[in-house]
């Protein structure tokens, strides 16, 4: 059953499982996206995560249409900053780009506010105070409710927090990071920094590009149509070490009566800094299965999962 908790040090509550909408417009059309959104709402999911770069804006358009009159029942997260057009003005975190990007996202989403607005990537060419001032102005104008960032290093998060405090600006409420049982770099510095500053950590790629679903076997062909079969970019996760970890995790999950997906998602959801885990889907059945797989883990089971992932 899904739980609802606050994002960082705030009153904004979200479901423990969030729907990543990056498949909208790339893998599925409007009809399928609407079915996925309907299933997510039926399962109790309230966080819907998209970005202006996903399918060149189509993800936002499809999400907005799928939600329709239910927009106020959910939390919409979107992002700016990734290059969406060629030339020097097609991306980045300058005031000029942020204001325009927000207006464009609002139009595509068919709404007059974004609940959680992310800087998608750090921008080394724009001072962080310029970015924070522009985002704060959007909050004051009522077009954005809360601000956040994605793909930051711990020092960049700390810098943003200190600059924001020094200038009496709103603080980043959340940070998105790649985090799962096989990819745990975030735990070294980013997660402790987020805990120190009261920032929620929202993991993406929680199933390690599908490896933690258990559907891949070392030495066997990847299933037709799967991410690893169709998108070579993601195959770097398919290492002998990771396959060995998957088999250890499979045994723990089987002994506990859990699916691999359930073990992976529930472990992340149990982390103190995590208010929600983002999972993409291409069908209503997939959404329902992910939601049903989420469960509360005992301390002993959490420890067993940790041990299996680490190989200890």
How high is the pLDDT of residue 34? 98
H or E element in which residue 250 lies: helix 240-256
- The domains located in the chain, with CATH, are 4-207+268-296 (3.20.20.100)
Residue 101's nearest CA partner among 79, 128, 121, 116 is 79
Q: What is the pLDDT of residues 86-142, one digit of tens each?
A: 998 999 999 999 999 999 999 999 999 999 999 999 999 999 999 999 999 999 999
Per the structure block, which two tokens stand in for 228?
A: 């690893």
Whether residue 235 is predicted with pLDDT greater than 90 in this model: the reply is no
Give the H or E element holding residue 175.
Answer: strand 174-178
Task: Give the pairing of strands 114-119 and 75-80.
Answer: parallel
Rounded CA separation 140/64 (Å): 23
For residue 222, the model assigns a pLDDT of: 58
Residue 233 has pLDDT above 50, yes or no: no
Token digits of residue 249: 């995790």
Paired strand residues for 48: 19, 76
Catalytic residue check, 54: yes
User: Which is the catalytic residue, given 54, 113, 121, 216?
Assistant: 54
Torsion from C-alpha of 94, 154, 79, 31, nearest 10 degrees: 160
* CA distances (Å), origin 205, targets 72, 89, 257, 281, 285: 27, 29, 23, 12, 19
> Could you count the other beta carbons within 10 Å of the beta carbon of residue 139?
16
Tell me: pLDDT of 211 over 60.
yes
Average pLDDT value for the chain: 94
pLDDT at 216: 77
Residue 214 in this model has a pLDDT that exceeds 90: no
- Whether the pLDDT of residue 234 is over 60: the answer is no
Cα separation, 35 vs 298, in Å, equals 34
pLDDT digits (tens, 9 = 90+) for 14-45: 999 999 999 999 999 999 999 999 999 999 99
Mean pLDDT along residues 261-275: 98
Rg over alpha carbons for the chain, rounded to the nearest Å, is 19
144 token code pair: 């954005």
């Amino acid at each position: 059953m899904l739980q609802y908790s606050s994002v960082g040090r705030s009153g904004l509550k979200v479901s423990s499982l969030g729907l990543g909408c990056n498949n909208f417009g790339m893998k599925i059309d409007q009809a399928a996206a609407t079915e996925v959104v309907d299933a997510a709402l039926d399962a109790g999911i309230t966080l819907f995560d998209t970005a202006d770069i996903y399918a060149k804006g189509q993800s936002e358009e499809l999400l907005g249409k799928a939600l329709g009159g239910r927009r106020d029942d959910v939390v919409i997260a979107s992002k700016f900053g990734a290059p969406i057009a060629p030339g020097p003005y097609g991306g980045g975190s300058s005031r000029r780009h942020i204001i325009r990007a927000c207006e464009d996202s609002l139009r595509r989403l068919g709404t007059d506010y974004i609940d959680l607005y992310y800087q998608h990537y750090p921008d080394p060419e724009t001072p962080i105070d310029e970015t924070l001032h522009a985002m704060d102005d959007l909050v004051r104008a009522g077009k954005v409710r809360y601000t956040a960032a994605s793909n930051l290093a711990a020092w960049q998060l700390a810098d943003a927090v200190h600059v924001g405090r020094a200038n009496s600006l709103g603080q980043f409420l959340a940070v998105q990071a790649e985090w799962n049982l096989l990819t745990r770099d975030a735990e070294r510095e980013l997660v402790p920094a987020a805990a120190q500053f009261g920032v929620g950590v929202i993991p993406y790629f929680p199933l390690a590009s599908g490896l933690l679903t258990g559907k891949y076997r070392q030495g066997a062909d990847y299933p037709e149509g799967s991410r690893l079969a169709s998108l070579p970019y993601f195959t770097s996760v398919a290492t002998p070490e990771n396959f060995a970890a998957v088999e250890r995790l499979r045994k723990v999950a089987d002994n506990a009566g859990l699916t691999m997906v359930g073990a992976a998602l529930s472990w992340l959801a149990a982390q103190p800094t995590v208010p929600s885990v983002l999972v993409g889907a291409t069908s209503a059945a997939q959404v329902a299965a992910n939601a049903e797989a989420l469960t509360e883990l005992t301390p002993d089971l959490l420890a067993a999962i940790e041990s299996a992932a680490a190989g200890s």
